[in-house]
Amino acid sequence: MITATRLNLPRTDGSLEAYDLGGPSPWPTRAAPPRARLAFAAAHVVADPLAAAEPWLEPAVDWDSTLAFRRHLWDLGMSIAEAMDTAQRGMGLDWSTSEELIRRSLAEARALGAEVRIACGAGTDQLEPGTYSLDRIVEAYLEQCEVVESQGGRVILMASRALAASVQSADGYAQVYARVLGQLSQPAIIHWLGDMFDPALAGYWGSTDLDTATRTCLDVLAANASHVDGIKISLLDKQREIDLRRQLPAGVRMYTGDDFNYPELILGDELGASDALLGIFDAIAPAAAAALAALDAGERAAYLEILEPTVALSRQIFRAPTRFYKTGVVFLAYLNGHQNHFRMIGGQESARSILDLCEVFRLADKARLLRDPELAGRRMRQVLALAGVDP
């Protein structure tokens, strides 16, 4: 019998599985900022499905719901990484809308007294695809950095598609980063985003060989250490992150962007640990807050017990093609009642299959991340019905 918390989920062989949801999430809705690690959640944006705009061509944002979600993250003690790839930057969110997002989020942070707990992405995406001179790339970076800093924000210096397309030498990267970082009023977080997240960033740091690219990255960090707060690595390569972390200049933090191995990397080892700047923290913020509170209390086993069940979910959401992970993140926000629809900028809700979304649903339940199983079940049924499945 189908009940409020039982529904039929399709399998890969075309059959249906009767699935019984577990209990509601036990995690808190409010938490203090963690002390042992810095924890940034890269936040998604909520699309406005009723805007009179072409969804594939014109980004339309529901600003009230988007800012409400940021308050949810702040309430859980998370810091926010704003206008990053999780917000569909470069996959539907253009610079003009990103600028408005940054201004609105920084204003919200100031109003709540949370301005120290937000950092914003600055890149070069106002430039059309193509190749550019170093001067123009530096100018584009500084235009966006000025927007962030003029509003009192901290800069996350995003990887640049224009730089990847225009420069194939370590020296060119060194020049650009030195010129940009030297103009900032406070140390920035540098973001190395791998090509699994954005194919246009292949060959970043001037080489497709990751060992060579890593050496160039380390050289840039060493030459500009006083202007760098830390580096976020999003390569999904645990050992490379650990090796790079151990070679960082004094005072430069490692922010893990590894959505496959984050529990171990944040926990760390006898030689150090990573702070966090993660897209998956958008989706698992309540569990992450509880785990980080356990880590603050020295309860390492409890920390792992909470976070380890979320890893299978994260690996599903960030599976290849990884750049479509935003669909799973927004889907969970919909299931958990943070927005009243499952629509995305650029029509990206269609980027993952119904079978994929069903697996996200199962794994979120197993990780105890559905705060109201009845609501989640009703919303899953609506998604299934649109796909022609009798739930």
**Number of structural domains found in the chain:** 1
pLDDT at residue 4, as a whole number: 72
Question: What kind and span of H or E run contains 195?
Answer: none
Q: What is the CATH number of the domain that holds 262?
A: 3.20.20.70
Question: What confidence tens digit (pLDDT) does each residue in 34-48 have?
Answer: 999 999 999 999 999
Which tokens belong to 297? 């209390």
- Smallest CA-to-CA distance from 322 within 194, 151, 200 is with 194
DSSP class of 83: S
pLDDT at residue 114, as a whole number: 81
Whether a cis peptide bond, with omega within 30° of 0, leads into 321 is yes
Residue 12 included in any domain: no
Asked if 193 contacts 201 with a C-beta cutoff of 8 angstroms, the reply is yes
| CA pair distance 225, 160, nearest whole angstrom | 20
Question: What kind and span of H or E run contains 119?
Answer: strand 118-122
What is the domain extent for residue 172?
35-320
Residue 391 included in any domain: no
- Ordered per-residue pLDDT tens for the chain, 391 residues: 456 789 999 999 989 999 999 999 999 999 999 999 999 999 999 999 999 989 888 999 999 999 999 999 999 999 999 999 999 999 999 999 999 999 999 999 999 998 889 999 999 999 999 999 999 999 999 999 999 999 999 999 999 999 999 999 999 999 999 999 999 999 999 999 999 999 999 999 999 999 999 999 999 999 999 999 999 999 999 999 999 999 999 999 999 999 999 999 999 999 999 999 999 999 999 999 999 999 999 999 999 999 999 999 999 999 999 999 999 999 999 999 999 999 999 999 999 999 999 999 999 999 999 999 999 999 999 999 999 998 6
Q: 3-state SS of 82-139?
A: ECCHHHCECCCECHHHHHHHHHHHHHHHHHHCCHHHEEEEECCCCCCCCCCCHHHHHH
Q: Is the backbone of residue 205 left (phi > 0), alpha (psi -120 to 50) or beta?
A: left
| CA pair distance 295, 275, nearest whole angstrom | 12
Other CB atoms within 10 Å distance of the CB of residue 192: 20
Which tokens belong to 219? 């050289």
Residue 363 included in any domain: no
Residue 251 included in any domain: yes
CB-side neighbour CA atoms (13 Å) of 259? 30
Asked if 122 contacts 157 with a C-beta cutoff of 8 angstroms, the reply is yes
Share of the chain above pLDDT 70, in %: 99
| CA pair distance 155, 297, nearest whole angstrom | 31
Compute, in degrees rounded to 10, the torsion defined by CA atoms 254, 278, 130, 59. Answer: -150
Q: Is the backbone of residue 272 left (phi > 0), alpha (psi -120 to 50) or beta?
A: left
Residue 282 included in any domain: yes
Residue 50 included in any domain: yes
- Smallest CA-to-CA distance from 87 within 315, 326, 280, 284 is with 326
